[in-house]
Every structure is written in structure tokens, then in C-alpha cells.
Amino acid sequence: MGTAAGDSAQPASMAATMLGSAMAGILGRVVCHPMDMAKANLQVHGQYRGAWHVITSTLHAEGVRGLYKGFGVIVLGSAPATCLYVTSYEESKKWLLQYPVMQTSPFLSSFTAGIFAEAFSCVFWVPIDVVKERMQVQRTHQAGAYKNTWHALQTIARTEGLRGMYKGKRYGATMWSFGPYSALFFVAYEQNKAAAQRLHATDNVPFASLLLCSVSASAAAAFLTNPLDLVKLRLQVERFQSAQSQAAPKYSNTLQGLQRILAEDGIRGLWKGAGARVAFQAPLTGITIAIYEKCKELVANFV
């Protein structure tokens, strides 16, 4: 009887995780997309003074729609991508905790599970990022500019093929960027959440505390991994820009990209757009994870 209950509880828990993360993935992006657009333009274009300059310039030139360039692909893909991301993390951690070395090292289990979560979810995140970031940094009247998400998907499929979305430097650059970010985030978040549970003397931490736990963890991880994100973005948009200008690519892989930026712009250049990245990533991940935790509780009561 106990076994049957356990067997039924596991699918219920999985369903709660999947539904909760899918709902959170969309809700979190609605609020934070304009700052993501600002971060992308700061990292690619040199004429902006800061995130606020990007936002005001875009509003003046393109209106509110300009702030949400690339949002269509986010709506299409963020629910399954976030679902796979969070579900992969939770299931990977359960699997890892079967091994004694992981049981005795919370840091190692959270860090490794975070890497696994990113590796699996990049199946969705890589093409989402390619389309989103190309649309975010393109100019309104740029030759060959994508008209909308569907036009972008059609053009990329026709000119580069589906496999082109995942070519080494794209998937690899995304993993180099978000693999360490996810690993560091989950390590910090798990520690913050455990501290909050002790403080509130309950496993069901209030929403405001969960938000603080995830926002602070995400801010630290986003800042530390900004150089990797900077190279990833430039690698992902460069193929489109090179095709338009017929120029030879400047970046061949993550390591070469880091070396080139360091040589051209110095150590400060590696943190270009870091403020906008933190201002985007911290609330996005904070809102997403906090909503996910509460959605999971809510869904679990009905499953």
C-alpha cells in the first residue's frame, strides 16, 4: 500500500514541477524582456551609454514594440524550455543524490545538476536565443532584417537549416555561458532557500523570501558569468551580420572570443553590459523560480 502511494506521488510531483515551471517561464519573461533587449544591444553595439539609453533610444525610434523585439519566439519557446530546465535540474539532483559523494556535498550535487539542466534545456534555448538576439540587435531598416518571429524562423531554416541552429559554436557557446551560470545559481539558491527555511521554521517559504533568495543568487551568478555571456551573444549574432556585410567572422569559439575582447577592450570590456545583464537576469530568474515554487505547491494540491 505504501509503495503504491509512493508510485502515485512521484508522477504527481513530476506533473507539479512541469506545470509550475511552464507557467513561470512565460510570466517571468513578460516583465524582463525590455532589459534583455537593452543588454543585447549594449554587448553588440558601441554607441550606447547604458541600458536606459538603449531603452529610450529604442522607444523614440521604434515605440513600445521595439522593446519587445524577439518576444514572439520567447512566448513560443519559454514554457517548454523552462519546463525542461527546471524538471531536468530536479530529476538530475534526485539521480545524483543516489551516490554517497553527492549526498555529502550539497555544493557538488547542486552544481552538477545545474550543468545537466542547462545541457538538456539548451535543445530549446539555443534556437530561441539565436532568433531572439538577432531580432533584438537588428536595425529597423537594416537590409535583410527579419520582419517578425515567423519570418526569422523561415529565413534561418531556409538559409542555414535546422542543424545550423546547433552548430558547435552556438550550442557550445550557450553551454559555456549558461552552464556555469545555472550551476552557480542553483548552488547559491539552494543555500539561500535552506537559510530561509530555517529562518521561517517551515519548508513552505513565503513568496517574498523565495523571491529574495532567487534574485540574490541570480544577480551574483549573472555578474560572474558576464564575460561568457558576452562572447556567446557575439558568436550567435555574428553569422547573420557577416552574411550581410560579407566580412570575415571575428570570433571562432568562446576562448578565442574572450582573448580577443580582452586584447581589444581590456578587463573592463569583459563586463560590458554586466549591469543590464544583472538587471535582466536577476529579476527574471527570481520571478520565474519564486513563481515556479508557488505554482508547484498549487498544482500539487490538485494533481
Q: What is the CATH number of the domain that holds 87?
A: 1.50.40.10
Q: Could you tell me which of 148, 292, 296 has the C-alpha nearest to residue 213?
A: 292
Indicate whether 90 pLDDT > 50: yes
Between 292 and 248, whose confidence is greater? 292
In a domain, 253, yes or no: yes
pLDDT reported for residue 5: 35
pTM of the model: 0.76
Is the pLDDT at 98 greater than 50? The verdict is: yes
In this structure, is residue 280 part of a structural domain? yes
Q: Mean pLDDT, to the nearest integer, of 24-50?
A: 81
How many independent structural domains does the chain possess? Answer: 1
Q: Are 92 and 113 in contact (CB under 8 A)?
A: yes
Whether the pLDDT of residue 222 is over 90: the answer is yes
Range of the domain at 235: 13-302
Mean pLDDT over 67-87 rounds to 83
Residue 1 is assigned to a structural domain of this protein: no
Q: Which of 60, 63, 72, 81 is nearest to 30 (CA)?
A: 72
Residue 12: pLDDT above 70? no
Q: Residue 8 domain-assigned? A: no
Q: Is the pLDDT of residue 2 over 50?
A: no
pLDDT band, very low/low/confident/very high, at 13 (cuts 50, 70, 90): low
Q: How confident is the model at residue 1 (pLDDT cuts 50, 70, 90)?
A: very low
Position 141 scores a pLDDT of: 66
35: in domain: yes
Confidence of residue 247 (pLDDT cuts 50, 70, 90): low
pLDDT, tens only, 103-146: 999 999 999 999 999 999 888 888 888 888 888 887 766 666 78
Going by C-beta distance under 8 Å and a sequence separation of 6 or more, which residues neighbour residue 214?
189, 192, 285, 286, 288, 289, 290
Residue 8 binned pLDDT confidence (cut-offs 50, 70, 90): very low
261 inside domain = yes
Lowest mean pLDDT among 90-99, 111-120, 235-244: 235-244
Residue 82 grid cell: 523552462
Element (H, E) at 12: helix 2-44
Top mean-pLDDT range of 16-25, 57-66, 220-229, 273-282: 220-229
Question: Would you tell me how many other CB atoms lie within 10 Å of the CB of residue 191?
Answer: 15
pLDDT over 50 at 6, yes or no? no
In this structure, is residue 5 part of a structural domain? no
For the chain, the straight-line distance linking the first and the last C-alpha, in angstroms and rounded, comes to 19
2 falls within a domain: no
Least confident piece of the model among 50-54, 85-89, 149-153, 266-270: 149-153
**Higher pLDDT, residue 297 or 231:** 231
